[in-house]
Structure 1
């Protein structure tokens, strides 16, 4: 009887320890976590003001979608240098450099008075984000004391919180002026800068990257078929992701506050599923099967948006529900990438992100142009086709990626 009680107690304490280990992190991890939230606010902050920017700067919808294209294009190319930069500057100073660049270009964006100047400045913002995003994932994974899988969940939670709070803040600031969200990001980035300077000790950045990374390392990493497969799949699925993000605001017929609330719902579901649901799916069905299921459902949602584009409640519901599918998929694919190839995590992240953001660069402008050439339904249908191609592509290369389910994520 006593041994049974002992087993129950030890089992209960083990579960409690496992749950606590995610939250029991060094201060450095929480500093990066907080900065991540603010950095990713920048993505959602701009969403509610896209129609307002088009109106105030007398720009077409496809010109306004270039705010996402320039941002993602610069980020894609800059991802290739992040490893080389962070291995020389160290993680702390690379993160701080990224924050300074984001703050500078978002502030300048708030004071610009033409769409092309704004598109160019968003490109500069993308450079800062590349330095920050690639390094922050590597920093959280390296500095965390709870293993890769839990560190990635923490990272995805920061993304989710940033993306969900961003539109609400963007809608509120954007209702005052379209430039408000740009100046808001700059201000928040100053707070993040102070947080990292104070909370992230320099000693924790030493030896995080074992050796200096060459500019060619991300390309060499893509020789690993598994990493290449995930990168191409992410580029394809990002056509759907950024069609939703960059073009859906134009067809919802809502003001800044309304768009802010819709994307808040989207972001909350993205955050909750990335932290709580994705690990369960991974455990029950495996990474690859779960990923393909989420992408297929996302494609179906895009098809629904394409068919019922003029029915407001369908588009709003589809956008919010898409958050759940994208939250799951983001965690699943990020975990898979970290375990895909025997290369430095910073290098794997840079190589994968380079391919992923190429898709994110082409998709927004393509969506705007397809709507101008044909009608507002076509961008969503085309986005759905690209997402389904990513599922087929993963299926065709299953033998190269199936090993990610057998890699121990805790190490």
Structure 2
């Protein structure tokens, strides 16, 4: 049957300033009508009984690693997009630590072309410095013209403060956001997990909080000195939350993100020496977890990302030698619903803001809305569906999830991108 439209019946609609039950009629990729008791125009309209389900604007993750080009044994753009769709995302921004790095037009074109038929918009993030070496700034105007939506050397910091200051200045001239990976490599000193009681007990080198906090403070001072925007990636410490909160209060143009694992888990997960719980920055202590959570509640944290970082199973076998990183696209919304919504910590509207609205705003992209005339980019979620995370069932090539074996409450059951169903459990 040729589908000419989609009619979603009796769905709970949640958007900014909107919470109601209605039908949504989708045609030609657009939301044509939102009302009660809509009847299908003909038999070619796919009718979905969504009673008990919730419709939200499709999500965007502004921090993923799709490993393509260069490391496609871990993930590629097609499998990464498939994981994104299963998680309720219709857009992602992919970090530039590929091979070659995203510092040239050809690599940007490769990514956007390969993503074209996935149903997920994959926006490249360009390098701050050429080949991410920290020495010479990229041509930001060229990168933006080619399709880059932001700048980062994620995976490593820009060590030279003067180069970072000039990067912020040049990025501001091109209205591009700089996303900073805040880590002082000398303080880290080859640590593999948070520096604390657990690292001491395991006898492994630890990552001191100060490594994150000092560079967070540096970036804020530099951004303030040139009156530019700066975005702090994957915040994990109480100190960085405090610094960012204070800077915002003082009017500095700083924004930040965090990941579900930083407000749900602590370094105690590493007691089993399981490298699947290793990422950078690392899982920290209960006081940090609580501070990150408070940052979400009070608005210090602007968005929730996954830092989706796939690795092959054999790479994660040796606890000490394993690379840092965890997958997260397929568990993110479920984790957030479990930890924030079902605990009455934040309302659904705030989750829409954190996972759909703000990432797009920060990257100067159109904000998705469940509103007549807007593109039909929608995630349907069963807020009360309980499920156990089984790594073997993930769509990603890699299965290194920190939520393995956990029961989560809430799950995306359908993702619609420009009027096309790109993922469905219904």
TM over 0.5: no
TM-score (norm 1): 0.27
Higher strand proportion: 2
TM-score (norm 2): 0.26
